Chain A
Amino acid sequence: MPHDHHDHLSPSGHPYRADNDTALSYWQVMEIAVRELLIDKGVTTANDVAAQIDAMDTRSPANGAQVVARAWSDPDFHTALMADASAATRDMGFDIGPLKLIAVENTDTVHNMIVCTLCSCYPRNLLGLPPDWYKSRAYRSRTVREPRSVLAEFGVALPNDMTVSVHDSTADMRYIVIPKRPEGTENLTENELAALVTRDSMIGTGVARSPNAKQPLP
C-alpha cells in the first residue's frame, strides 16, 4: 500500500521526505510578511515573484556552455571575456542582472577550481542554482586545503607539474572556469562545442568532454 511505508523507504530505495509540518521559522515568517507587504503596497506582484523564480529555474549550465564555446571559437570574444566577463556575457544576450563575473582559463600548466568557503556563492545568474555538493561543508573546507584529492574523487587526475589554482569566492565576484578545448574539435560548430561543456568543467571539478568519448548513460 502506498501509504504504508513502515520501513521509510520508497520503492526506489530512497527514504521518504518528511512532511514539513513544523512551525515556520522566524525568517520564513519575515519573508512572507515582507513579500505580502510589498504586494499590498503595489511595489511588486505575486506574478512578478513567480516570474523571477521561474527565470532563475530556467537558467542552466547550458548558458555557460555557450559562453565557453564562443570563447573557444571567437578570439575577439575570448579577449573580451577575459577582460570583463560580465560585459561579454551580457553582450551575448544573457540577462545576468548585477552579476560580477570573472572568467579563469585552464591551460596546459594551470587548472582552475571554484569554491565558496564562507557560504555558497556561485554564478547563479548565468549557470542557475549550484549543485548540492557545492554547498556542503566537505567540498567547501576540503577544496582549499586538498584540492588535488577532491579533484581525484571527481575523476580529474593532474600531474604534479601542473598548478592547481583555487578561487575562493569570498566577496563580490563570481567565477566561471573556461575549460581547455578538447583535442579533435577543430571542425566542430559552436553548438557542437557547447555540448561538450559540462557544469562541472565550469566549476573546475571536471574537464570538457572529448568528442570521441561515449556519452554517459542516462
Chain B
Amino acid sequence: MTARVCVKSLVPPGHVRTPTYLRGKVGTIERALGAFPNPEDLAYGQPASAKHLLRVRFRMVDIWGAAAENPDDTLDAEIYEHWLEPITQDTGDAP
C-alpha cells in the first residue's frame, strides 16, 4: 500500500522549498530520502534541525484538473515532512 499525503496549504513568509503549485494537492510517497537540514532555517544562517525529505508523486489531473494534458502523467517533487499531512481515510478518488 502506498501512503497518500496532502501538501499543506500554508503561505509562510521567508524562504521555503515547497512550490506553490503543489500546496493543497494530494499525492503518494514515492520514496523516503533521509533527513536533511531544514532549508527554511539554513537560508537565514540559523541552526537547522534535520527534517525528513520525501519524494511525492502526483498525478497531473490532481494538480491541474481538467487542464492537464494527460491526466495520468505524473510529477514527482521533494517535499519536507513538516509540509505533509497523511491522508488516513480513503477519499474514494484513488486510481
Contact = CB atoms under 8 A, between A and B. Distances in A.
A132 interface: no
Given A117-B19, A117-B21, A145-B64, A168 B75 contact: yes
B79 A170 contact: yes
The 6 closest A-B pairs by CB, nearest first: A171-B78, A164-B73, A168-B77, A166-B75, A148-B69, A170-B77
Contacts of A96: none
17 contacts: A117-B21, A118-B17, A148-B69, A148-B70, A163-B73, A163-B74, A164-B73, A165-B75, A166-B73, A166-B75, A167-B75, A167-B77, A170-B17, A170-B18, A172-B36, A172-B53, A172-B78
B39 interface: yes
Interface in B9-38: 17-19, 21, 33, 36
Contacts of A170: 17-19, 77-79
A77 to B, nearest CB: 21
A79 interface: no
Contact of A165 (B17, B19, B76): B76
Nearest to A173: B78
Contacts of A164: 69-70, 73-74
Listed residue (A117, A118, A146, A171) with the most chain B CB atoms within 10 angstroms of its CB? A171
Interface residues of B, number: 23
A171 B39 contact: yes
Interface in A140-167: 144-149, 160, 163-167
Given A163-B70, A164-B73, A171-B17, 5 more contacts: A145-B21, A163-B73, A166-B74, A167-B76, A167-B77
Contacts of B69: 146-149, 164
B73 A147 contact: yes
